[in-house]
């Protein structure tokens, strides 16, 4: 088991390296750097730029050096917890970000949990009651859930919340807790606000998961061992729970790998629409003002989150299924 | 007919029957059987596809939509940028048939506008005495059809000196319905161009990886894994954000399609690769190799056409993702830029809560978005089933 985990972590390293190269290329692509636009902006306002300070910053972040060296410095800095400098806020990135990253993790994690809790019973119901009205209804709902994109769902919910309750939804906590340290009241406020983004982000993932779980379980239910178990007099419920469900549980956990990028994507765009205090709104602002170190570390963080999520699901899968553990191979 | 055998030891006579050969003479097929057994692959697929009613309906719906965007100028009551300064944020007008119990034909009531001084909002009320009959095949806003021919004929236009906003107007008094019709042009084509990019990339990269295997395959596999593990929308946002502000809207449009296509080929490449890994062991590939065919010819001429139908089906399923990607990017302000108008651009108007609360008709563009995505999903499902007609 330990060998499998170590091997799996070792595989993760080249993936992360490739991702970091890709992200760095994206950061580097815009012509010119932040300082040039900053200087021209100051000039346009009729102010003189403090060239000395800018030169110092340039040197500190190695803008006078060729790209490969800057890449190594960037990656090395990240490994030591230095994510670079946000030029717009004039602060190190790690200070700008604050608890936004943890809130992103929280939102994604809760969304996955809710996705599981909802998708599991519905998937089982749909598979065991194939072609019933309930199955058709749920399938149609699922298709609708897949077709309505996150941000449109967010807009619709905003509209109805305004009509029915006369309040505006949005934000992840009461505004008075914004820059305060974590406390019980703050946690309560976050929990109160959490359910709306979770519904919005989770819908598409839940719908997809129900669809795949249903297909998977249907395949399993038609296998001969189920027929044999039924023929020998096992009750339908036991014949479902004892083996086929366990088999599709495997799939259930490995499916995280395919819905996690989707959930994180959805979390970003929903956060922008609802102005949640997660990475989304800040990422888009950073991208628009070409504050590339800030944007780059956000991208890197989101990719890292996905890779870790897949890693955890793979390890859970190995714990659950001895075949994967013993082969030590990939799960796909 | 008796043929005498030659004496033993002498060569046999060479004999060829000149009668026409009919392979079905022994077991004659009925007309119905012949129709099925001799049907071409395409015909079989069409039969199978026809059985999937929802997919067929979706296909027809999409076909109609795509035909509509060709004549968008004619269908839209107003031009894309026509501003009606007297009717800013006007709510939708209902099309009625009866005025005071009498059949008048389709008409709308005129509008009177008052300014609510408390909330500073424009309040519109129907003027029940002002019956404005709609005109059909009439002359309205002049436009250049396809940017070439001058014309002014519209399918439907408001009464002379009247107005007709079936879905309301936006903050500049532009007709939302007309803008949705024009926006379809961009929103629907962006998926097709994007899929062309990703289709080419997927077949070429997946083909090379699957056919050659070994190190190339390993590298390609890794790249695909990396691309699939990065959440797509943030990556799209980053790539869209680095497009220079100085680019013209047309260039931005092309840039967005390329970005959407560049990140989308991974699924197709995977499918092509796994298929080729199995198929390259077939005898006909060996035969082609022995005859000296180059690998590009074997992949393109012998291998890929064999499962082209599957590829087209799976490509159809990825189109809605692209349409959504563009809509989301434009909605966030990172995608297309005015004056190019897509459904996403239209939805940017409805970004804040106050706008949604006061002017909910600005949310109408999301209805075509949802319908088109649903239709493409159904169509893709049907095509996937039909791609293998023998199953």
**Among residues A52, A82, A112, which one ends one of the domains?**
A82
A22, A159, A302 member nearest B363 (Cβ): A159
Beta-carbon pairs below 8 A across chains A and B: 116
Are A246 and A203 members of one domain?
A: yes
The pLDDT of residue B66 is 92
Looking at mean pLDDT, say which of A93-102, A132-141, B30-39, B196-205 comes out highest.
B196-205
Are A175 and A254 members of one domain?
A: yes
Q: Which residues of A touch B232 (CB under 8 A)?
A: 261, 265
Q: Which of A101, A260, A265 to mutate against chain B (most B CBs within 10 Å)?
A: A265
- B4 or A244: whose pLDDT is higher? A244
**What average pLDDT score do residues A260-268 get?**
84
**What average pLDDT score do residues A106-133 get?**
87
Q: B347 CB near a chain A CB, below 8 Å?
A: yes
Lowest mean pLDDT across A202-206, A321-325, B80-84: A321-325
**Among residues A20, A51, A82, which one ends one of the domains?**
A82
Are A50 and A142 members of one domain?
A: no
Q: Where are the alpha helices (DSSP H) in A179-291?
A: 184-221, 224-231, 236-241, 244-254, 256-274, 279-288
**What average pLDDT score do residues A135-155 get?**
84
Asked if residue A329 is part of any domain, the answer here is no
Are A58 and A155 members of one domain?
A: no
Are A46 and A176 members of one domain?
A: no
* pLDDT level of residue B287 (50, 70, 90 thresholds): very high
- B31 or B220: whose pLDDT is higher? B220
Cβ separation A265–B228 shorter than 8 A: no
User: Percentage of residues in chain B with pLDDT exceeding 70?
Assistant: 98
Q: How far apart are the C-alpha atoms of B367 and B362, rounded to whole Å?
A: 11
Are A184 and A74 members of one domain?
A: no
Looking at mean pLDDT, say which of B91-100, B141-150, B213-222 comes out highest.
B213-222
* Nearby residues of A194 by Cβ (< 8 Å), 6 or more positions away: A106, A107, A110, A172
Are A296 and A154 members of one domain?
A: yes
- A205 or B64: whose pLDDT is higher? B64
Asked if residue A3 is part of any domain, the answer here is no
Cβ separation B333–A26 shorter than 8 A: no
Q: What is the pLDDT of residues A301-325, one digit of tens each?
A: 888 888 888 888 888 888 877 776 6
Q: Which of B231, B356, B385 to mutate against chain A (most A CBs within 10 Å)?
A: B231
Q: Which domains does chain B have, with CATH numbers?
A: 93-164 (no CATH), 178-387 (1.10.3720.10)
Q: B204 CB near a chain A CB, below 8 Å?
A: no
Q: What is the pLDDT of residues A15-29, one digit of tens each?
A: 888 888 888 888 777
Whether B159 has a pLDDT exceeding 60, the answer reads yes
Please answer whether residues B22 and B28 qualify as being in contact, where contact means their C-beta atoms are separated by less than 8 angstroms.
Answer: no
Range(s) of the domain holding residue A61: 31-82
Are A185 and A297 members of one domain?
A: yes
Asked if residue A268 is part of any domain, the answer here is yes
The pTM for the full model equals 0.81
Cβ separation A18–B223 shorter than 8 A: yes
Q: B232 CB near a chain A CB, below 8 Å?
A: yes
The pLDDT of residue B133 is 79
Q: Which of B58, B232, B241, B374 to mutate against chain A (most A CBs within 10 Å)?
A: B241
The pLDDT of residue A330 is 44
Cβ separation A170–B353 shorter than 8 A: yes
- A246 or B372: whose pLDDT is higher? B372
The pLDDT of residue A332 is 38
Are A105 and A67 members of one domain?
A: no
Cβ separation B369–A146 shorter than 8 A: no
**What average pLDDT score do residues A25-39 get?**
72
Are A169 and A199 members of one domain?
A: yes
Q: How far apart are the C-alpha atoms of B243 and B336, rounded to whole Å?
A: 11
Asked if residue A36 is part of any domain, the answer here is yes
Asked if residue A284 is part of any domain, the answer here is yes
Cβ separation B374–A147 shorter than 8 A: yes
Number of domains in chain A: 2
* pLDDT level of residue B65 (50, 70, 90 thresholds): very high
Cβ separation B347–A152 shorter than 8 A: yes
**What average pLDDT score do residues A230-234 get?**
89
Q: State whether residue A86 is helix, strand or coil.
A: strand
Q: What is the pLDDT of residues B291-304, one digit of tens each?
A: 988 888 888 888 88
Counting other chains too, the contacts that A189-192 makes at CB distance below 8 Å and 24 or more residues apart are A190/A103, A190/A106
**Among residues A82, A102, A119, which one ends one of the domains?**
A82
Q: What is the pLDDT of residues A233-248, one digit of tens each?
A: 888 888 888 888 887 7
Q: What is the pLDDT of residues A49-73, one digit of tens each?
A: 677 777 776 776 666 677 788 888 8
* pLDDT level of residue B57 (50, 70, 90 thresholds): very high
The position carrying tokens 């796994």 is B274
**What average pLDDT score do residues B66-79 get?**
86
Q: How far apart are the C-alpha atoms of A193 and A168, rounded to whole Å?
A: 11
A149, A158, A264 member nearest B231 (Cβ): A264
A268: domain CATH number is 1.10.3720.10
Whether A175 has a pLDDT exceeding 60, the answer reads yes
Q: Which residues of B touch A261 (CB under 8 A)?
A: 228-232
Q: B366 CB near a chain A CB, below 8 Å?
A: yes
Choose among B347, B43, B119: nearest CA to A156.
B347
Are A67 and A140 members of one domain?
A: no
B228, B237, B360 member nearest A261 (Cβ): B228
Asked if residue A302 is part of any domain, the answer here is yes
The pLDDT of residue A248 is 79
Whether A6 has a pLDDT exceeding 90, the answer reads no
Mean of pLDDT over chain A:
80
Interface predicted TM-score (ipTM)? 0.78
Asked if residue A26 is part of any domain, the answer here is no
Q: Which of A151, A167, A211 to mutate against chain B (most B CBs within 10 Å)?
A: A151
Q: Which residues of B touch A158 (CB under 8 A)?
A: 353, 356
Asked if residue A1 is part of any domain, the answer here is no
Q: B228 CB near a chain A CB, below 8 Å?
A: yes
Are A136 and A75 members of one domain?
A: no
* pLDDT level of residue A329 (50, 70, 90 thresholds): very low
C-alpha distance from B261 to closest chain A C-alpha (Å) = 17
């Amino acid at each position: 088991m330990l060998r499998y985990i170590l091997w799996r972590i070792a595989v993760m390293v080249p993936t992360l390296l490739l991702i970091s190269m890709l992200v760095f290329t994206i950061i580097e692509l815009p012509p010119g750097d932040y300082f040039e636009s900053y200087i021209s902006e100051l000039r346009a306002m009729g102010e003189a730029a403090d060239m000395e300070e800018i030169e110092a910053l340039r040197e500190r972040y190695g803008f006078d050096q060729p790209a490969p060296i800057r890449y190594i410095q960037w990656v090395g800095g990240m490994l030591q917890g230095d994510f670079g400098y946000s030029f717009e806020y004039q602060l190190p990135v790690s200070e700008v970000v604050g608890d936004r990253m943890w809130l992103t993790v929280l939102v994604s994690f809760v969304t996955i949990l809710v996705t599981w809790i909802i998708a599991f019973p519905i998937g089982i119901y749909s598979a065991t009651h194939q072609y019933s009205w309930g199955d058709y209804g749920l399938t149609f709902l699922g298709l609708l859930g897949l077709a309505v994109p996150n941000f449109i769902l967010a807009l619709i919910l905003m509209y109805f919340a305004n009509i029915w309750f006369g309040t505006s939804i949005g934000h992840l906590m009461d505004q008075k807790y914004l820059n305060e340290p974590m406390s019980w009241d703050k946690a309560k406020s976050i929990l109160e606000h959490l359910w709306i983004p979770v519904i919005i982000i989770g819908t598409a993932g839940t719908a997809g998961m129900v669809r795949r779980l249903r297909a998977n379980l249907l395949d399993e239910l038609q296998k001969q061992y189920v027929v044999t178990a039924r023929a020998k007099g096992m009750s339908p419920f036991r014949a479902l729970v004892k083996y086929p469900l366990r088999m599709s549980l495997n799939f259930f956990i490995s499916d995280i790998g395919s819905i996690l990028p989707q959930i994180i994507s959805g979390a970003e765009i929903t956060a922008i629409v609802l102005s949640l205090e997660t990475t989304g709104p800040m990422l888009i602002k950073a991208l628009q003002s070409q504050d590339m170190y800030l944007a780059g570390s956000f991208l890197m963080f989101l990719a890292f989150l996905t890779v870790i999520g897949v890693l955890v699901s793979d390890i859970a899968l190995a714990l659950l299924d001895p075949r994967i553990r013993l082969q030590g191979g990939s799960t796909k | 007919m008796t043929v005498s055998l030659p004496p033993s030891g002498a060569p046999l006579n060479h004999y060829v029957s000149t009668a026409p050969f009919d392979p079905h003479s022994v077991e004659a097929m009925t007309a119905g059987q012949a129709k099925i057994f001799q049907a071409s692959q395409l015909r079989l697929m069409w039969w199978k596809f026809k059985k999937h009613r929802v997919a067929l309906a979706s296909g027809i719906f999409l076909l109609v939509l795509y035909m509509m965007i060709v004549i968008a100028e004619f269908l839209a009551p107003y031009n894309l940028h026509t501003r009606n300064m007297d009717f800013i944020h006007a709510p939708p007008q209902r099309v009625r048939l009866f005025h005071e119990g009498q059949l008048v034909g389709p008409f709308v009531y005129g509008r009177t506008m008052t300014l609510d001084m408390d909330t500073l909002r424009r309040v519109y009320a129907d003027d029940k005495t002002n019956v404005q009959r709609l005109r059909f095949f009439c002359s309205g806003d002049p436009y250049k059809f396809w940017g070439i021919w001058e014309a002014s004929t519209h399918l439907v236009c408001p009464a002379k000196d009247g107005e007709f906003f079936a879905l309301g107007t936006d903050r500049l008094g532009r007709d939302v319905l007309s803008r949705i019709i024009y926006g379809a042009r961009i929103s629907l084509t962006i998926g097709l161009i994007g899929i062309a990019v990703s289709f080419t990339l997927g077949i070429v990269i997946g083909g090379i990886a699957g056919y050659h295997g070994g190190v190339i395959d390993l590298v390609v596999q890794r790249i695909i894994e990396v691309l699939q593990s990065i959440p797509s929308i943030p990556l799209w946002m980053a790539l869209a954000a680095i497009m220079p502000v100085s680019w013209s809207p047309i260039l931005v449009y092309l840039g967005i399609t390329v970005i959407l296509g560049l990140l989308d080929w991974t699924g197709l490449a995977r499918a092509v690769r796994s298929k080729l890994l199995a198929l390259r062991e077939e005898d006909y590939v060996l035969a082609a190799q022995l005859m000296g065919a180059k690998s590009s010819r074997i992949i393109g001429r012998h291998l890929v056409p064999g499962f082209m139908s599957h590829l087209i089906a799976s490509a159809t399923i990825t189109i809605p993702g692209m349409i959504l990607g563009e809509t989301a990017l434009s909605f966030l302000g990172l995608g297309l830029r005015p004056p190019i108008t897509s459904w996403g651009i239209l939805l940017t108007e409805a970004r804040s809560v106050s706008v949604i609360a006061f002017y909910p008709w600005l949310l109408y563009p999301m209805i075509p978005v949802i319908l088109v995505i649903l239709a493409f999903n159904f169509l893709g499902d049907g095509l996937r089933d039909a791609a293998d007609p023998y199953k």
